[in-house]
Structure 1
Amino acid sequence: MIPNGIEPSQITRILFQDFSPWMLALFYVYAIGAIFAFCWGVYVQVRKYRSGRNGARLSWANLGRRLADTAKVIASHRTLRRRDAAAGRLHAFIFYGFTLLFIGTATITLQEDILGPLVGLNFWHGYFYLLFKLAMTIAGTGFICGLAYMMWRRGWLRPPKLDYTRPDRTPQDADFSRERYRMEDWAFLWTLLLIGITGFLLSGARMVWLQGDPAVWDTRWWAPVGASIAAGLKAVGFTSAGAGALRMGLWWVHGVLALTFIALIPYTKAKHIFTAATSWLLRDSDAARRLPLGDLDADRIGYRELGDVASRYLVQADACTKCGRCHEACPARAAGYPLSPRDVVLTLREQANAHLGEVLPKPRAAGCATPLIGLASGEIRPETLWSCRQCGACTEICPVGVEHVPLINMLRRTLVDEGEMDPALQRTLGAVNKTGNCFNESRRKRPNWTKDLPFKIKDARKEPVDVLWFVGDYASFDPRNQKVSRAFARILHAAGIDFGILYEGETTAGNDVRRVGEEGLFQQLAEGNIATLEGCAFARIVTTDPHSFNTLKNEYPDLGGAYTVSHASAFLKELIEEGRIAPARKLDFTVTYHDPCHLGRLNKGYDAPREVLAATGVKLVELGKSRDNSFCCGGGGGRVWVPDPPGTTKAGEIRAREAAEISGLDALVVNCPKCMTMLEDAVKTTGNERNFRVLELTELLAEALEPAEPVALAAPAAVV
């Protein structure tokens, strides 16, 4: 409350109290210079982004929804709280504290430099000013607490994801060290912390300086932190005159720090204040599951040079805060491969800054011919790109919307175009081109797995069906996965489903071909399958392969093939709910479930498989990394076709060991042919073959559908 005898108009703060004219002139010159430096930096950055190509399917038709989603993400901090709740909450303290302090500073500027001088409007007094002081105290306290936690986290907790050691470089490489980034992080934190601390010290010094003014001293507890500092200053002997001198020094230190920070925002890590929001606004929510369609008539369909890169990726490179969440989530890095998604993005940033301008703009032509991939310093190594599984773990967890998956894929397309790939991969792509499958088998052998069935599956090319089952390569040719295919066929037959397959008319859907970077072959395969499908009559497509599911559902529409596509697990759930199939018994198993990347993370297919499991009666124990945090089996992105180099661990072995930690586990349940191949092998190589089995979800359901063996009853005793 305002003490008796004090007029509300007296309760205010004169911003430049006791300043001489030359001090005012110096301040405004420095302030204008800081604003000019900020605006120049924004111009340079925007010019850099505009040097990129228009890219990758950005529609402004839904701008309103994008803006609303971006605002929700920023306000809630939900992407920052995921898998690191403490860092997310304390970052919110910094964000909201900084925002409120900025609004407070803008309010002062509005009063002192615009409304007051121009229209004589003065609102910065009385209760408004007291509430303003209290709000600034709360904001400043949260701001400093958040910064202190981040400093403690970096300096003492030191989570591995904040280690900038590069897995794709050795200490002998000229670009091995990223110490500059570490120094920038600390400079950023210390600058903000000093701005906050000097603001509170300035408040306390001002109170002691003006302690004889009741309008200041008697209302000091509206700013409790400043009032506490004032009490401390008086306790150590500061007089009004001494506090006045301290106040003047602190005023300049605080003002120069704040203005310098503003000036440096476009040139430092601080730019993420703007680029993070812009990155989220521009992001493609389908980035991981739907790769950019390549123009096969263009000179190149991948990213060979800096001038090829889409503008959105240049923005995203600057939005990266080096938080390390993608680094931590990457299964390739965990397995010892020379890949950190963060390093790929930072290398792109460094190239863009060096050749397109970070402080001074450079001619666009200078950036166009800069190679992105190579063995020279500052270039992205080919083995780094080939390490990627295209699993989407990095894109999923990035709090600022960086699209690592399509960026890496566009770089891979250049490697494929130049023939720079593992010989095994080259042979497989040749086989796909020749036979339409990655097993290099005759097309006539594709339906051979159906011969052991007691019924004939319809040929969807010759007669209409309700359900067209797109089988896929592994489910057609791999002996272990053929068992799953026969189990699924028997379930559909028992449920009375009118279904058929394409027989030898089917070729691989092309998901892994595309994710390897062979865009031309992918489009050839897709167009061939679409032509075949156009000659068939069906209501929906079902597939047991998540890779085929993702491509048929999300990528074929770009080439004119839009269909209703379901994964087998979702279809089985429907059949159970409709009562068309019903488990005959409950399985007394303890199982865990491995979420396939292409079904789970890319297409959010988490619940249907678990509901099917629940119907079988098994006890489900979740893996530590499940759902959107599932750990890739290691077979995605074409890696199933390429041998692991020495010095690396199979990603599947990491997953198998994680499953082995579950006490009493009977089965690791998979839901993807490639996961079956990779994890069954991993269970053997880790020595867990006798501890638990690898079962496909369909197999488990088929077992539950079979009635238990009848128990033989003893003959009744004779009646005497």
Structure 2
Amino acid sequence: MIRPLQAETVTRETFWLIGPVGEVVFYYLALLTVLVFSFGAYYRFSRYAEGSEDPFERLDQLPQRIIRAAKIVGSNEQQFNRDFVGGMMHAFILWGFLTLLIGTTILAIDMDIYRKLTAAFGTEQSFFVGDFYLSYSLVMDAMGLLFVVGLSVALYRRYVTRNERLWGRHTSFEDAYLVWMLFLLGVGGYLVEGVRILGAEFPDFETVSFVGWFIADMFQIAGVTAGMARAIYPAMWWSHALLALVFIASIPLAKPFHMVSSFGNVVTRDEKAGVRLPGVPADASPDEIGASTIDDFSWKQLLDHDACTKCGRCSSVCPAKAAGRPLDPRDVILDLKQYREDLDSGNTDEVPIIADGGNSVIASETMESCMACMACMDACPVDIEHVTQFTEMNRRLTESGQMTETVQEAMMNVFQNGNTFGDPERKRPDWVEDLAFEVPDARDQSVEYLWYVGDYPSYDDRNQKVAKSIATLFHRAGVSYGILYDDEQNDGNDIRRVGEEGLYEMLVEDNIAQFEDCEFENIVCTDPHSYNTFKNEYPEFGWNEDGEIDVYHYTQVVQTIVPDLELTGNELDYTVTYHDPCHLGRFNDEYEAPRSLVRETGCDLHEMPRNRANSFCCGGGGGGLWMDLEEETKPSEERLREALEDTDAGTGIEKFVVACPMCMTMYEDGRKTGDFEDEIEVVGLSELLAEAVTTDVASASVGSSQSSAPADD
């Protein structure tokens, strides 16, 4: 019930002992704070308008976007990813801060709006009394305590245990400023409350403010009297108020702005960022392709820069950084942000965004190190889209002729022969000659599945065994399938990710023409990279826009034909582990089909510690397969070490199962360079299944022979 203010009312006086002059001064400073905040926020947001137009729709279905972002941010679900303690810490800080903000807003509404309106009609009233006040005080004390606890954990992780990912060359005063200001505001609020309760001589109803009551008790035990508390209260109140006003005014000017920009970044996220890349305008000249200046980045990418909280989650999961390559995804984002701010303030001259061996914001070796695995994006709690920006810089290198020589060679091979090996197109189907059955030609007959074999399963000796095993499975199960033989060309997925957009578009046109000349219902791919680009990027070029053709990875198709393979689940007894390929798992959320197939063979499957969305890249993506980079430890070597040392089975792991031809190539190399050849075998999942089928057939043959043998007399 709303009651008139009286001396005995269960409430507290907002400007207790501050006086009318102090109240006027506070409101003046508050107005000044709002003006500074508004100007800073306006500058920040208006700066984004100087970026280029984003190629994807970012503000469609805005209400749904806001609701979804509120769920993501409010639940802290992305902060819990890979770091439970960090997630709890951030949840305490976020919900504590929001509660204190809402509580302050409620107080302002009562004091500045409701009381004044009711006073204008004759009797000043307040809803900040009685049961409402008691509930308010209890909630504010409880949530404020969580706020302080969360900040204490943050300070402990930053300064005591010195969590490595929280530190880097962009660590600066603003990082300490944010966490210490919030901590001092939280603790300062309790100190002010404790002094007020002591100065008011412990009103009985204030026991609901249990933290403030405890502080008041501590002051009293320390010898502070009620009179002393009343004497020091104004100074403590003003110090807390000024600290709060300074913090609010500084929000748009430094790291605290992430509280606004991060939410905006989540609202404007692209669900398929990195999985599909933006195209290049048809009328763009070579000088306009890629990022030459800071404003060549889109407004969303500039927002990405401001949303970065320097948490280092992207850095901690980046396989390129772990391998010692010159790439730290956090530093790239922050380098671009720092350059923009220095340029705007006149503290630096304009230089190229990226260049090879020259004066630039980002060195070419940095971008060449990226594996396009999207681990950074998956780990980022505020949905920064690193890979799309990295691609823009790679495009600039390509267009300016600064591509690595080995990558240039691979691109030339694709341009001339349709494959990265540079072998003649006529040799692409040579692998089928070793099979005891005929592989159907999809160019000559209608099939259910058009099987896109891919470069490595067609030309690489080791991966040809994978192609043969898949063909064996399809043949055994009676699948209606066919291949394109020598008319198949490179899919272009990694061509695009090294920045060769023109060649990619040429491949898209050629492959689409081949698809349209065949009659089929679905496409099945050996390589997750092909699967990704056919499924997510080719529709952007006018093919399969309505999704009438389903695109599958071979594990998904084989999973549906398992009954036709007539496996019992007891054929093999190997102890194995399975590696999630980035383009199948993290890109396209397919984790179960490969695992179910491993179990169908009877193998004992032990998970890698880093599995599913947390899988660690083999090092071959983003053109890594075509580069010879200096590394402290190859990602493939680290992954094999992990299989043998960190899985539950440890050195008992016999086979390292992969479902990607590029992974096969990288791990076979890692076995040699890491000296694992005698410890573990790398095997394709299809090879494991084919072995199980062969074992099953052999067992059935033996059983049949035994049953037909004459009985002993």
Is this contact kept in 1: 2:658–2:685, CA < 8 A? Answer: yes
Of 581, 584, 587, the match for 1:596: 581
Tell me the alpha carbon deviations over residues 531-572 of structure 1, each in whole angstroms, 9 at most, x when there is no partner: 111111100000111111111111100111213110000000
The residue correspondences of 1:119-134 to structure 2 (distance < 5 A) are 119-120=118-119, 121-134=125-138
Matched residue, 2:353: 372
Is this contact kept in 2: 1:446–1:503, CA < 8 A? Answer: yes
1:404 and 2:404 are equivalent in the alignment = no
Tell me the alpha carbon deviations over residues 188-229 of structure 1, each in whole angstroms, 9 at most, x when there is no partner: 111111111111111111112121xxxx62222111111111
1:312 and 2:293 are equivalent in the alignment = no
Give the counterpart letter for 1:561 in structure 2.
W
Task: Give the Å deviation of 1:60.
Answer: 3.5
* Distance in 2, Cα, partners of 1:79 & 1:468: 38
Change (3 A) 1:262 1:584: closer
Task: Give the Å deviation of 1:30.
Answer: 1.1
Is this contact kept in 1: 2:58–2:270, CA < 8 A? Answer: no
Matched residue, 2:498: 516
1:543 and 2:525 are equivalent in the alignment = yes
* Distance in 1, Cα, partners of 2:29 & 2:59: 39
Task: Give the Å deviation of 1:25.
Answer: 2.5
Matched residue, 2:21: 22
The residue correspondences of 1:509-588 to structure 2 (distance < 5 A) are 509-562=491-544, 563-576=549-562, 578-579=563-564, 581-582=566-567, 585-588=570-573
Matched residue, 2:188: 198
Change (3 A) 1:581 1:438: farther
Give the counterpart letter for 2:53 in structure 1.
N
Tell me the alpha carbon deviations over residues 495-529 of structure 1, each in whole angstroms, 9 at most, x when there is no partner: 11121111111110001100111001000001110
Task: Give the Å deviation of 1:8.
Answer: 9.3
Task: Give the Å deviation of 1:663.
Answer: 2.7
Is this contact kept in 2: 1:303–1:414, CA < 8 A? Answer: yes
Matched residue, 1:168: none
Give the counterpart letter for 2:235 in structure 1.
G
1:605 and 2:604 are equivalent in the alignment = no
Match of 1:10, SS?
A: coil
1:268 and 2:254 are equivalent in the alignment = yes
* Distance in 2, Cα, partners of 1:534 & 1:713: 52
1:187 and 2:177 are equivalent in the alignment = yes
* Distance in 2, Cα, partners of 1:651 & 1:56: 33
Is this contact kept in 2: 1:352–1:367, CA < 8 A? Answer: no
Change (3 A) 1:378 1:155: farther
Matched residue, 1:292: 278
* Distance in 1, Cα, partners of 2:10 & 2:57: 52
| Number of aligned positions between the proteins | 687
1:699 and 2:680 are equivalent in the alignment = no
Is this contact kept in 1: 2:58–2:269, CA < 8 A? Answer: no
Tell me the alpha carbon deviations over residues 366-390 of structure 1, each in whole angstroms, 9 at most, x when there is no partner: 9996531246777111110100000
Which deviates more from structure 2 when the two are superposed, residues 67-76 or residues 398-407?
Answer: 67-76
Matched residue, 1:680: 668
* Distance in 2, Cα, partners of 1:513 & 1:716: 64
* Distance in 2, Cα, partners of 1:625 & 1:155: 28
Matched residue, 2:313: 325
* Distance in 1, Cα, partners of 2:272 & 2:344: 29
Is this contact kept in 2: 1:512–1:638, CA < 8 A? Answer: yes
Matched residue, 1:170: none
Match of 2:35, SS?
A: helix
* Distance in 2, Cα, partners of 1:619 & 1:451: 34
Is this contact kept in 2: 1:51–1:356, CA < 8 A? Answer: no
Is this contact kept in 2: 1:307–1:367, CA < 8 A? Answer: no
Is this contact kept in 2: 1:591–1:620, CA < 8 A? Answer: yes
1:501 and 2:483 are equivalent in the alignment = yes
Matched residue, 2:73: 74
* Distance in 2, Cα, partners of 1:569 & 1:406: 28
Match of 2:652, SS?
A: coil
Q: Unmatched 5+ residue regions in structure 1?
A: 1-5, 165-176
* Distance in 2, Cα, partners of 1:281 & 1:94: 21
Is this contact kept in 2: 1:307–1:369, CA < 8 A? Answer: no
Matched residue, 1:92: 91
Percent sequence identity over matched residues?
A: 41
Give the counterpart letter for 2:598 in structure 1.
L
Is this contact kept in 2: 1:583–1:701, CA < 8 A? Answer: no
Is this contact kept in 1: 2:17–2:234, CA < 8 A? Answer: no
Change (3 A) 1:194 1:60: closer
Task: Give the Å deviation of 1:584.
Answer: 7.7
Task: Give the Å deviation of 1:99.
Answer: 0.5
Is this contact kept in 2: 1:585–1:705, CA < 8 A? Answer: no
So what's the TM-score if we normalise by structure 2? 0.93
Of 242, 254, 257, the match for 2:228: 242
Matched residue, 1:167: none
* Distance in 1, Cα, partners of 2:553 & 2:37: 51
Of 411, 420, 433, the match for 1:429: 411
Change (3 A) 1:355 1:182: closer
Give the counterpart letter for 2:421 in structure 1.
F
Is this contact kept in 1: 2:59–2:268, CA < 8 A? Answer: no
* Distance in 2, Cα, partners of 1:86 & 1:599: 29
Matched residue, 2:122: none
Is this contact kept in 1: 2:668–2:682, CA < 8 A? Answer: yes
* Distance in 1, Cα, partners of 2:116 & 2:324: 64
Matched residue, 2:451: 469
1:106 and 2:95 are equivalent in the alignment = no
Is this contact kept in 1: 2:528–2:584, CA < 8 A? Answer: yes
Change (3 A) 1:599 1:275: same
Give the counterpart letter for 1:598 in structure 2.
H
So what's the TM-score if we normalise by structure 1? 0.92
Change (3 A) 1:519 1:90: same
Give the counterpart letter for 2:317 in structure 1.
A
Change (3 A) 1:163 1:696: same
Matched residue, 2:644: 660
Is this contact kept in 2: 1:327–1:342, CA < 8 A? Answer: yes
* Distance in 2, Cα, partners of 1:441 & 1:378: 37
Change (3 A) 1:461 1:62: farther
Q: Unmatched 5+ residue regions in structure 2?
A: 120-124
Give the counterpart letter for 2:90 in structure 1.
H
Tell me the alpha carbon deviations over residues 330-368 of structure 1, each in whole angstroms, 9 at most, x when there is no partner: 0000000010110111011112222346xxxx9xxx999
Matched residue, 1:227: 213
Task: Give the Å deviation of 1:18.
Answer: 3.0
Match of 2:577, SS?
A: strand
Task: Give the Å deviation of 1:142.
Answer: 0.6
Tell me the alpha carbon deviations over residues 419-473 of structure 1, each in whole angstroms, 9 at most, x when there is no partner: 1121111111111111110000111111111111222222212221111001110
Task: Give the Å deviation of 1:585.
Answer: 4.5
Change (3 A) 1:368 1:615: farther
1:446 and 2:428 are equivalent in the alignment = yes
Matched residue, 2:620: 635
Which deviates more from structure 2 when the two are superposed, residues 554-563 or residues 293-302?
Answer: 293-302
Task: Give the Å deviation of 1:236.
Answer: 2.3
Is this contact kept in 2: 1:306–1:369, CA < 8 A? Answer: no
* Distance in 2, Cα, partners of 1:464 & 1:716: 48
Match of 1:669, SS?
A: strand
Which deviates more from structure 2 when the two are superposed, residues 460-469 or residues 9-18?
Answer: 9-18
Is this contact kept in 2: 1:306–1:367, CA < 8 A? Answer: no
Matched residue, 1:158: 162
Is this contact kept in 1: 2:531–2:553, CA < 8 A? Answer: yes
Matched residue, 1:140: 144
Match of 2:537, SS?
A: helix
After the TM superposition, which segments of 4 or more aligned residues of structure 1 sit over 4 Å from their partners? 6-9, 366-370, 375-378, 711-719
Is this contact kept in 1: 2:352–2:359, CA < 8 A? Answer: no
Give the counterpart letter for 1:149 in structure 2.
V
1:355 and 2:343 are equivalent in the alignment = yes
Give the counterpart letter for 1:544 in structure 2.
T
